[in-house]
Amino acid sequence: MNKGRNILKALLILILGILIFLNLNSISILADEGTSTTDTNPEVTETSLPPETILASFGDQIITLSEFNQLWEQIPENYKLQTSKSQVLDQMISEKLLIQEAINMGLEVDKDVLEQIRKMTEQILAQTLIEREILDKVKISDEEVTKYYTENKNDFTEKEQVHLFNILVETEEEAQDILEQLKTGGDFGEIAREKSTGPSAAQGGDLGYLSKGTIIPEIEEVIFALEIGTISEIINTEYGFHILKISDKKPEAIKTIEEVKEDIIQILLPTKQKEAFENLLEELKSKMEIKINEEALH
């Protein structure tokens, strides 16, 4: 039995190695800059061959066009770009050769193999039941979406925003000099790029849109009172001396139910699926008399 177990482990390691090779194959393909699309996928030409057409034969085994296409259609499109039909066919041949060799060695009746197959079969059955009875059936209705939206409108409210520009310097004297330049027509963006020590200097002081509640209080109080296009007075904070300007304002707004419908569904769906799963288990348990040996359990 130990010999059979060692053979099985070697077989599984070999299969795993092949799968890893195929998954990492994209690295070699992307590295080969000289290979054209035609070279990597010579089989892209559409054919109208009958599905029973034999693609490969070896020993007493064959691989038909229908069998190959069934596998090819299951491969995600992004992986198809990283491999070729020839490589996939070679993988199918390798897999069949490995399986045939395992059968020749009698592994299909090995006790450990049969136990693994039994466990895998049970897992697939349970998973398929959950998919068909819960994942495929449990849906969120429009009424549930509307109810959640109505009860949680604050979660979908976008607070008032301003498009903020900032010049930050270390001393009040520098700030005063810059403010005088701005008041006599100096360009805010150019001065910010030249004089500001803040992280937005390279962008001409542009900090983008900022919402109420996300800015330090001494600055927030000023900028939300500023008129569009006007320059603030000098503001002293722990970071230094600021001169601010806003180029746009967005009032507080509530997103429409259409805008957040999918977000609400993703919020509600897991809970509803969990409830359906628990109800299914309760229903199944209610149909059986379940006896538990508490003494043996402890």
Query: Domains (ranges, CATH) in the chain?
Result: 2-33+49-135 (no CATH), 160-251 (3.10.50.40)
The type of residue at 162 is V
Q: What is the rounded distance in angstroms from the CA atom of residue 48 to the CA atom of residue 41?
A: 18
pLDDT digits (tens, 9 = 90+) for 151-185: 998 889 888 899 999 999 999 999 999 999 999 88
State the average pLDDT over residues 22-47.
Answer: 41
Whose tokens are 């301003």? That residue is: 162
Q: How far is CA 267 from CA 124, 139, 253, 260, 271, in A?
A: 28, 12, 21, 11, 8
Q: Tell me: the pLDDT tens digits for 230-280?
A: 899 999 999 999 999 999 999 888 999 999 999 999 999 999 999 999 999
What 3-state DSSP class applies to 44? Answer: coil
pTM of structure: 0.56
Interval 206-223 mean pLDDT: 89
> 143-157, pLDDT tens digit by residue?
999 999 999 988 898
The mean of the pLDDT values for the chain is 85
- Strands 235-237 and 54-58: what pairing? unpaired
- Average of per-residue pLDDT across 117-130: 96
- Distance, in Å, from the CA atom of 145 to the CA atom of 148, rounded to the nearest integer, reads 5
